Amino acid sequence: MSEKYDLLVIGSGPGGYVAAIRAAQLGLKTACIEKWQSQDGKGVNGGTCLNVGCIPSKALLDSSWKYHEAKDALAIHGIDSGEVKIDVTKMIGRKDKIVKQFTGGISALFNANKVTSIQGTGKLLANKKVEVTDFAGKTTVYEADNIILASGSVPVSIPPAPVDNKVIVDSTGALEFTETPKRLGVIGAGVIGLELGSVWSRLGSEVIVLEALDSFLAMMDQQIAKESQKILKKQGLDIRLSCRVTGSEVKGEEVVVTYQDKDGKEQQQTFDKLIVCVGRRPYTEGLLNEDADVKLDERGFIYVNDLCMTSAPGVWAIGDVVRGPMLAHKASEEGVVVAERIAGQKPMMNYNVIPNVIYTHPEIAAVGRTEEQVKADGEPYNVGVFPFVASGRATAANDTAGMVKIIAHADTDRVLGAHIVGPSAADLVQQVAISMEFGASAEDIGMTVFGHPTLSECVKEAALAVNGHAIHIANRKKRK
């Protein structure tokens, strides 16, 4: 038996590393166990988010957007950028450098906060013990008063399109292409499919997105989803709804994909690369010894209560491996709340105000309930919408597609949700998220003085429009 800790965290993604740092700040003797290895065999912290998720995808989204702007969007400003070329290897190299910088940053933060970093695979045993198998195969058993499981998630694979990491790839493989595929297929029009499809479309791929569902972004506010679909279509993304992939055959350097179209007819399409983005599943392989006493739910997530406690006393679980949205900031906020609970504090996580963002251009962002959800809940509500085309700042930037939509309770005026497709939607929606945390009404946002000219003014105007008081558009509802 090795050293005893106050807290052992398994997994150093945004859930695990944040929990470990917060616990150490609060004086707990903490260690974080991570099994991720770089190609040269070194241990790496940061999980999916930093290695193959949020950060590298945003690096490629930013590079590809700059390429698109230089190539197609500067002439209107009077700028002749000449012949514009993309060096894909250099772009991927920049992304790798950013990943290295940020994963290295976690190790530095662990040192600064005195979190012990343990490299290897952790397995939870009975009685709050964890067996770690290091990269050389040696096992050590650690003990702790509390344990947090933060083992995250992995891509879902589907039998009709098995990933071969050559022609058919998952989201990780799609961050590593060495050249722009001419014909790119994407299975799944979810967040990841749209982001990765956008990256390669901007660089010149002909992108076809095959989506089994008949509605686009079914979980989002449908007014915003429809607007987003129109904008993305205009950019050249060929999004085919009601198209379920039923098979694929790799033939040399290409893949022939079979799918059933909206009329039930079998169709075939040939691609040079195919990205499978059909969702992610909780990852618990090898994590739980038989006697660990941690129960899973029927979908394979670690079962937890509202406070992230598992069925085993002293064992907690957070992030993608438990219920709720699979988002980095949801994982890290749970990490903070659980660390503080372990240290004796009593914080609560507000699951009603978790923003989510799709980093296409323009961005699609939401917080709170959609109009469809509020309607289904039977609550009376008002809606305010403000289009970016009426914004001086958006027009100056030649970035006017989209709108801000705010939903408020008809009796109390309390903000229930905000849904945005437009420039900087990710940052704009956060303003409404803060307002919602403070229980703001639409009138509160409308009465706040906003700087001019800013994109944020669109949030103010949408809030004013809720009660028919918008200044820079004709109000649908006239109210006093």
Catalog residues that contact ligand AMP under the rule CB under 6 A: 158, 160, 187-192, 210-213, 244-245, 277-279
List 7, 9, 11, 91, residue binding ligand FAD (CB under 6 A): 11
Q: Is 452 a catalytic residue?
A: yes
Of residues 171, 201, 269, 431, which one binds ligand FAD by CB under 6 A? Answer: 171
Nearest to 22 by CA among 81, 109, 91: 109
x/- mask, ligand FAD, residues 342-371, rule CB under 6 A, reads -----------------x------------
| Contact of 165 with 355, CB cutoff 8 Å | no
CB atoms within 10 A of CB 66: 15
* Cβ closest to ligand AMP, residue 252 vs residue 264: 264
Q: Which residue has the tokens 């299975």?
A: 187
CA atoms within 13 A on the CB side of 173: 17
Binding test (CB under 6 A) with ligand FAD, winner from 5, 7, 9, 12: 12
**Shortest spacing between CB 451 and ligand AMP, in angstroms:** 35
Contacts of 193 (CB under 8 A, 6+ apart): 186, 187, 209, 211, 275, 277
DSSP 8-state secondary structure symbol assigned to residue 425: H
How far apart CA 393 and CA 379 sit, in angstroms, is 35
334, 354 Cβ separation under 8 angstroms: no
**Paired tokens of 184:** 């790119």
Stretch that binds ligand FAD, among 97-105, 149-157, 181-189, 446-454 (CB under 6 A): 149-157
Q: How far is the CB of 47 from ligand AMP (least distance, A)?
A: 18
The stretch near ligand FAD (CB under 6 A) out of 8-16, 156-164, 180-188, 253-261 is: 8-16
Residue type for position 68: H
Residue 362 · residue 425 · CB < 8 Å: yes
Residue span 204-243 as binding mask against ligand FAD, x where in contact by CB under 6 A, dash where not: ----------------------------------------
Which residue do the tokens 């914004």 mark? 391
Among 14, 188, 197, 446, binds ligand FAD (CB under 6 A): 14
Task: Measure the N-to-C terminal CA separation of the chain; round to a whole number of Å.
Answer: 73
Among residues 68, 361, 409, 452, which one is catalytic? 452
> Which of the choices ligand AMP, ligand FAD, none does residue 95 contact, using the CB cut-off of 5 to 8 A by kind?
none
Angle (CA) 127 128 134, round 5°: 120
Q: Taking CB under 6 A as the rule, does residue 151 contact ligand FAD?
A: yes
Taking the complex as a whole, how short is the minimal distance between the CB of residue 249 and ligand FAD, in angstroms? 26
The option from ligand AMP, ligand FAD, none interacting with 171 (CB < 5 to 8 A, set by class) reads ligand FAD
Please report how close the Cβ of residue 224 comes to ligand FAD at its closest, in angstroms: 18
What are the backbone angles phi and psi of residue 155, rounded to the nearest 5°?
A: -65, 145
Sign, CA dihedral 165-167-168-174, equals positive
Annotated active-site positions, please? 452
